[in-house]
């Protein structure tokens, strides 16, 4: 099964679904976060998630004892703008054990709380937001989640990133 959900638009072009909206009984448009279906064997299967799938390429060597991605500093992240318009400005970790990791997001609408993020997955390593220390989130500011222990970035490595927002 593909990790993406695809639809065919009115011009017969196949496109990856990034957002699904529904209108509730009060006529309010709401973004769907997950869609589950029951298959013929009565097994519930996740067929859509509003997660952001990113690719991080780490720096060739540690920068100031840190590696990963820092916007305008080192590494690269594609895309760095999330589905809701917020920007990931850093996913970086110390190069020393236990590799404390930071995720920083800016440019979100309004203020956000720690609940904005559900989880961060790096090359299959799942980091739950509930195990992170959260700071920031104010209007026009930046939000930061920190995990310790975190994740060890290798030099010049490509890392699959899945950022699940609530």
One domain, residues 27 and 71: no
Number of domains making up the chain: 2
One domain, residues 71 and 115: yes
Instruction: Look at residue 1 and tell me if it is in a domain.
Output: no
**Tens of pLDDT, residues 90-141:** 999 999 999 999 999 999 888 999 989 999 999 999 999 999 999 999 988 9
**Tens of pLDDT, residues 32-84:** 767 778 989 999 887 766 688 999 999 999 999 999 999 999 999 999 999 88
Q: What's the pLDDT score for residue 65?
A: 95
Cα maximum dimension of the chain = 54
One domain, residues 57 and 11: no
One domain, residues 43 and 58: no
CB 62 within 8 A of CB 74: no
What's the whole-model pTM score? 0.74
Query: Can you say whether residue 158 is alpha, beta or left, with left for phi > 0 and alpha for psi between -120 and 50 degrees?
Result: beta
One domain, residues 82 and 32: no
Q: What is the DSSP letter of 88?
A: E
Residue with tokens 């920190």: 146
Residue with tokens 């222990």: 149
């Amino acid at each position: 099964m593909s990790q993406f959900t695809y639809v065919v638009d009115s011009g017969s072009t196949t496109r990856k679904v990034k957002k699904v909206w529904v209108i509730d009984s009060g006529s309010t448009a709401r973004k769907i976060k997950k869609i589950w279906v029951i298959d013929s064997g009565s097994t519930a299967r996740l067929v859509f998630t509003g997660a952001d799938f990113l690719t991080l390429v780490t720096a060739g060597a540690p920068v100031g004892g840190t590696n990963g991605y820092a916007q305008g500093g080192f590494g690269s992240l594609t895309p760095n703008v999330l589905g809701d318009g917020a920007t990931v400005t850093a996913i970086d970790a110390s190069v020393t054990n236990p590799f404390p990791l930071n995720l920083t997001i800016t440019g979100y609408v309004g203020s956000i709380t720690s609940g904005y993020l559900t989880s961060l997955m790096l090359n299959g390593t799942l980091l739950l937001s509930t195990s992170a220390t959260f700071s920031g989130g104010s209007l026009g500011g930046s939000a930061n989640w920190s995990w310790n222990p975190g994740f060890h970035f290798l030099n010049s490595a490509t890392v699959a990133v899945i950022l699940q927002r609530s």
